[in-house]
């Protein structure tokens, strides 16, 4: 951000100068306070502009939008329009962001404004114009994030070789020394190589990506704390669950289970993620807990990292499975304390057998399910909100040869895979491998009791902390209320009927889910100590409100006043 000349009034000028100094040193809250004090003495467009940028960098985007608009009401300036565009983009108001970036560029060409315009077009699914904006940005200044946007836009328009070149340039320019970013760029490359038909290169890129993620990690599930579990009784656990439920959270305790023969059977868990069946709510907390423990174990020098844990999420293609199995070996899996894998469309049965061979155990394979009609309608709404700006966009997804809507539950469960290498036509009804159902457990999306028991059993067997989590991740109803839809309800219903007419529910509805769910409930054996009147829960508790909002607290502190602690955490994270 470039700062214009100072206001004339002395006191306001002094405060403005202080604000600019704090801003340049990235002390944004102090800068915000000084800008506001200056504005209380004298309104000036560049003070509002500075306030807007300070608020933007502290993620107070709605207030930033207001500050930039007040600045522009006093004087039009390219930097204020750019800031307004950035704040609107972060708030997912794409049409207004596009307008703001265009107004900024009309006053002054700037590579950052072109970059913002490119990302706004990309988020609005207008990929051709995104490509043009990103290329104009790169003509002024080469930056890894612009190449990333260009690569993603080219990938969306099936220009795979050009996307590969863009992702390679992003890697070459990445000077952040961020393992997370490097891993993400290799994952983007893997998808682009796959699109270009370069299987070996795709698998190699997946291997790099997975290596950065460290699927097998040594960590201490107690983070150096004394291994003393907190004693509670059954009534106290029920009260905690009730308290959590009153504010939209679930409590999944990790219990101490000495001398219980069934506990070992819960150490290895594979989750088959069927879109819009509550999978994110099931899978995300378990995966992020392991990642957070890994990071914390590395940060704390006195932590004794003696337990090995395997966790990987979002295995979405057969190339990712091939890369994963290439990295695994029987030696690397010796002594694993647990394993958790999330399958997102890749074929799962061969991997299930492979993990069983490596661990000398039979991993549990679990999925959550719902009524196929409700799932399909929810899936259409999700795609419409995330990726479509018109009914034509949705029709393209429906009429694609390997449509993502075509009997998706059946394809996942019977292991056809969803990445297009083995699409199944409706003529194949009845050719499914029924043996795949023998080891799979089916839980209804609304059966919170069984879901919680499964998680608690896995946590207990793994010596992992308790989990308090938001009940619903990725809630489409919240997004509808907050942002609305670009596609009307009538058009959504038209697409749903179109899918039904094409036979996209025929196989999904052929599965007897009630039988499979009831059989699961009959054969699931949970550790007996979970029903004991007095039990002992893990000394740490992982609290997760969302993808980037989580923390670990001591269970003792949590038990003292659960409601107060959760309110404090929710406000601070």
The pLDDT value recorded for residue 205 is 96
Give the range with max mean pLDDT: 222-226, 335-339, 538-542, 545-549: 538-542
Q: What angle do CA 87, 102, 171 make, to 5 degrees?
A: 70
pLDDT in tens, 222-272: 998 888 999 999 899 999 999 999 999 999 999 998 777 788 889 999 999
The pLDDT value recorded for residue 257 is 83
CA-based max dimension of the chain: 83
The pLDDT value recorded for residue 478 is 55
Question: Is the predicted pLDDT of residue 367 greater than 50, yes or no?
Answer: yes
The more confident residue out of 270 and 402 is 270
Q: In a 3-state reduction of DSSP, which class is residue 307?
A: strand
If you count DSSP H runs as helices and E runs as strands, how many of each does the chain have, helices first? 25, 12
- Please state, in angstroms and as integers, the Cα–Cα distance from residue 483 to each residue in 62, 180, 389, 487, following that order: 14, 29, 13, 12
Rounded to two decimals, the pTM is: 0.85
Rg (CA), the chain: 26
Average pLDDT over residues 283-293: 93
Q: Minimal CA–CA distance to 294: which of 388, 179, 373?
A: 179
Residues of the chain with pLDDT > 70, as a percent, come to 93
pLDDT in tens, 16-68: 999 999 999 999 999 999 999 999 999 999 999 999 999 999 999 999 999 99
pLDDT tier for residue 422 given thresholds of 50, 70 and 90:
very low
The pLDDT value recorded for residue 84 is 97
Question: Is the predicted pLDDT of residue 541 greater than 80, yes or no?
Answer: yes
Contact between 147 and 116 under an 8 Å Cβ cutoff? The reply is no
Average pLDDT over residues 479-508: 84
CB atoms within 10 A of CB 557: 11
Residues of the chain with pLDDT > 90, as a percent, come to 69
Mean pLDDT of the chain: 90
The pLDDT value recorded for residue 389 is 75
The more confident residue out of 130 and 218 is 130
pLDDT in tens, 430-470: 456 788 888 899 999 999 999 999 999 999 999 999 999 99
Euclidean distance between the first and the last CA atom of the chain, given in angstroms as a whole number: 27
The pLDDT value recorded for residue 419 is 59
Name residue 269's beta-bridge partners. 340, 364
Phi, psi of 364 (to 5 degrees): -75, 135
Average pLDDT over residues 391-412: 91
CA distance 177 to 560: 41
The pLDDT value recorded for residue 10 is 58
The pLDDT value recorded for residue 167 is 97
In order of their start, the domains of the chain are 216-572 (3.40.50)
The pLDDT value recorded for residue 440 is 94
Average pLDDT over residues 323-349: 86
Average pLDDT over residues 87-91: 94
Question: Is the predicted pLDDT of residue 493 greater than 60, yes or no?
Answer: yes
The pLDDT value recorded for residue 418 is 66
Question: Is the predicted pLDDT of residue 289 greater than 80, yes or no?
Answer: yes
The pLDDT value recorded for residue 417 is 66
Average pLDDT over residues 125-150: 96
pLDDT tier for residue 428 given thresholds of 50, 70 and 90:
very low
């Amino acid at each position: 951000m470039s700062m214009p000349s100072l206001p004339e009034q002395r006191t306001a000028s002094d405060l403005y100068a202080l604000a600019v100094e704090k801003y340049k040193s990235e002390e944004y809250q102090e800068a915000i306070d000084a800008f506001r004090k200056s504005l209380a003495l004298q309104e000036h467009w560049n003070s509002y502009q500075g306030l807007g940028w300070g608020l933007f960098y502290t993620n107070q985007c709605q207030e930033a939008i207001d500050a930039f608009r007040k600045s522009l009401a006093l004087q039009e300036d390219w930097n204020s329009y750019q800031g307004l565009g950035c704040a609107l983009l972060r708030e997912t108001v794409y049409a207004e962001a596009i307008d703001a970036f265009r107004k900024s560029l009309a006053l002054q060409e700037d590579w950052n404004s072109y970059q913002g315009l490119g990302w706004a077009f990309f988020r609005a699914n207008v990929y051709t114009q995104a490509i043009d904006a990103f290329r104009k940005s790169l003509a002024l200044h080469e930056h890894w994030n612009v190449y990333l946007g260009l690569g993603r836009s080219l990938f969306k328009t099936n220009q795979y070789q050009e996307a590969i070149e863009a992702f390679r340039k992003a890697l070459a320019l990445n000077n952040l020394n961020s393992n997370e970013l490097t891993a993400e760029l290799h994952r983007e490359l893997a998808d682009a190589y796959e699109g270009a038909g370069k299987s070996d290169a795709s698998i190699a890129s997946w291997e790099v990506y997975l290596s950065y993620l460290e699927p097998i990690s040594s960590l201490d599930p107690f983070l150096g704390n004394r291994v003393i579990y907190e004693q509670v009784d059954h009534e106290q656990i029920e009260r905690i669950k009730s308290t959590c439920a009153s504010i939209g959270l679930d409590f999944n305790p990790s219990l101490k289970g000495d001398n219980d023969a069934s506990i070992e059977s819960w150490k290895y868990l594979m989750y088959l993620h069927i879109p819009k069946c509550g999978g994110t709510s099931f899978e995300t907390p378990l995966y992020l807990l392991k990642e957070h423990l890994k990071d914390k174990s590395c940060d704390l020098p006195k932590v004794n990292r003696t337990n090995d844990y395997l966790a990987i999420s979002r295995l979405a293609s057969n190339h990712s499975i091939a890369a994963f199995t290439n990295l695994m070996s029987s030696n690397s899996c010796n002594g694993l304390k647990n394993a958790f894998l999330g399958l997102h469309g890749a074929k799962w049965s061969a991997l299930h057998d492979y993990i069983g061979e490596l661990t000398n155990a039979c991993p549990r394979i679990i999925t959550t399910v719902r009524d196929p009609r409700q799932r399909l309608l929810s899936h259409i709404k999700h795609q419409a909100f995330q990726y479509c700006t018109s009914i034509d966009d949705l029709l393209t997804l429906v009429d694609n040869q390997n449509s993502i809507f075509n009997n998706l539950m059946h394809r996942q469960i019977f292991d056809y895979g969803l990445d297009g290498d083995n699409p199944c036509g409706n003529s194949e009804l009845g050719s499914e491998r029924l043996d795949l159902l023998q080891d799979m457990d089916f839980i209804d999306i609304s059966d919170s009791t069984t879901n919680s028991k499964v998680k608690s059993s896995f946590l207990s067997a793994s010596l992992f902390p308790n989990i308090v989590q938001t009940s619903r991740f990725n809630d489409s109803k919240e997004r509808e209320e907050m942002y609305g839809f670009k596609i009307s309800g009538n058009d959504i219903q038209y697409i749903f009927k179109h899918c039904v007419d094409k036979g996209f529910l025929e196989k999904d509805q052929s599965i007897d889910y009630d039988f499979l769910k009831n059989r699961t409930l009959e054969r699931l054996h949970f550790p007996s100590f979970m029903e004991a009147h007095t039990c002992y829960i893990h000394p740490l508790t992982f609290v997760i409100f969302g993808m980037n909002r989580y923390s670990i607290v001591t269970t003792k502190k949590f038990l003292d006043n659960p409601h107060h602690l959760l309110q404090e955490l929710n406000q601070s994270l």
